Chains A and B, each alone.
Chain A
Amino acid sequence: MHPTCQHLSGVSLDEKTSKKQDAGKIFLEEVTSPPPDQRGLKRFGRILLIPVLAVFTGLVIGGIFIALTSENIYEAFGRSFGAGLIEALQTVGEAYVALFTGAFGSPVRIITALQSGDGLEIRRAFNPILESLVTSTPYIFAGLSVALGFRAGVFNIGAEGQIFMGAAAATFAGYALKGLPGIIHIPLALLAGAVGGGIWGLIPGWLKAKTGGHEVINTIMMNYIAFRLSDWLLTGPMKRPDSFSPVSPMIEQSAMLPRFFDDPIRFHLGFFVALGVAWLVWWFMFKTTWGFELRTVGANPFASRYAGMNVARNTILAMTLAGALAGLAGANEVLGVNHYLAMAFSSGYGFDSIALALLGNSHPLGVVLASLLFGTLRNGATPMQVSLGIPNDIIMVLQAIILMFIAAPAIIRTIYRLKKPTKEQPVANFKM
């Protein structure tokens, strides 16, 4: 009873500030509200505490799911309870070891490879961790897209569609422009991707600003349009002339993001471009007047209007930039990994990125860290499936559980008996 009531009284306080705001607004506030005023390591620890515990709890519960879905374990439990328990722990352990080696590489293999001095073997040994970075890269771009939207008070559910449009535009720039040097062609193709995604964000942004049409609905609809549009492009105007499958032509060599190592390592420049863009987004959001306006509009549109800001213009700007960032995710995949456009190539980066932005507290640094986690989990899942027959879907279950805990920090606080960071107490003596 006691905690419930405290919670209730807390709700009433919040009501005061959030009246006349829809549920989405309240949610956004929850997501983007900075932690209580603390500096340095303590603050950093506070921010990281919940995500880290959520990941840990997710792994524990994911382990239970792995155990539940393994037939051996039921068999072992049939023999005796102890045997079942041992079998369960062993299976889960093996699964997570496979996940780990799939994501980071096997230490044993790395050492033997280094001792043998065989170039190919060394590259193969180091491939998993670099491949995790490759998988993380589109997540960074798309996560930044959603995070920027959150900060500016808009829900960009349309990252997936923007990824497709960005990829289509980048692909076109990649194969249609010929004879350019890489130093011009690559930025141009990336720019095309940003513009393609940006247009796909601008449309719902403009609709929201001018007509009040809700961006959640409109970005979802824009997703469908983007999927079918890219299908049509691949079967029509952008179809590879000599191919029966619906794929685009290969992009020119000069448009490919350079790779740092020989095959099979696909690690490419895109990762560092993503880090650079993350820094740029951070600088834009927190150091410029544009970013200040975006964040103010996102945090309190009434006050931003009072302060003379143009709410409509900022909404359009936010959605356009969000679209451009997602478009870069698509461009990155085409220019760095696939080198051509195929149907359904993105497989949900845009949707995962919504969750990822939440996990990263809508801060560029948080997004980068969350992207690394997601990329790693996704990359480690395949070997887990191949070597142990544990379904790939477990990783999705794991991600879902982690995100549920992130979205509802109260659960984590309850499990680990953490105190809610209170706002009144640290400054209560100043109220007197």
Chain B
Amino acid sequence: MKDVLDMIRPYDAAPASSYDAAAATRAQARLDQILAAGPAPSSQRPHRGAALRLGLRWAAVPALAVLALVVTVVLPGGIATTTAFASWTAQPRPLDGTARSALDHACTAVIAEGLAESPRVTLDAPTLSIAERRGDVAVAVYTSTAGRGPILLGPRAESAHCLAFVEDGVPVVVQAVIANADNARSTSMSVTPDEDHAVVDGWGRWGPPRGDVPVDAVSLTSVSGGRIVDAGDFTLVQGTVGADVVGVVIHADGRDVEATVSDGSFLAWWPDSGRLGWEPGTTDVDARFTVTLRDGTVLGDVRTDEL
């Protein structure tokens, strides 16, 4: 089918020909009327559709505090329903080729808007380290090796993740979160461009990556989540893996969730509101892990501090 924009283009209700000489004459009279009245004394700013303004909310919090992503959105009418979370699967499907590129493109655009909006978070030379799909939800994780924080505060991590609903094969970004964290504090911002699926009650905790993760261990770097309008709650866990780790399964909230492991990172998420009790810089979390090593060894049902 022809592109719909090309189809409707000829049906312009106000083509250029509609602005005739009579209209131009009336316009000149109106201009004279405005100028004759002189400039108004005050600058009266029209509302910028505050109720419709979505998107950028961000917060900076101490590393041990829970981040509340305050996104209050009430839109009249037209709220769509989704089966995105109903299609969730415990096993991820890696995205590659055009699907990966499409997700990367969509996420990069939203992240760029977030970075332009807030100078308080940075993401230098990000690399798309994970792109996975569970049902109709695709998630991308970006990491950056750039560390720009004070040396005394130790390593500083810049990262981002992006969650998109796949609609007719097209990833529609629901939320992108950019986070910076060091040993003293974490700063993050959330971009929620989809007015039909606004993220409310967002939360998250971020910490710097451990530089000394044993080859057969995993280390958490963030636990975050929120509630998506007309979809539900979700929890998203990210971390780093040792060099010999090829598989991670997280046992939490009554689920066994297989993580995507790639480029030294892992990612898993599930539709539930568990916060796992994790604090940055610690290995204490209300979840257990099964880790598969490169030689086939399975370290089953252990906590991260036991690895």
Bind each other: no
Name B residues whose Cβ lies closer than 8 Å to a Cβ of A.
none
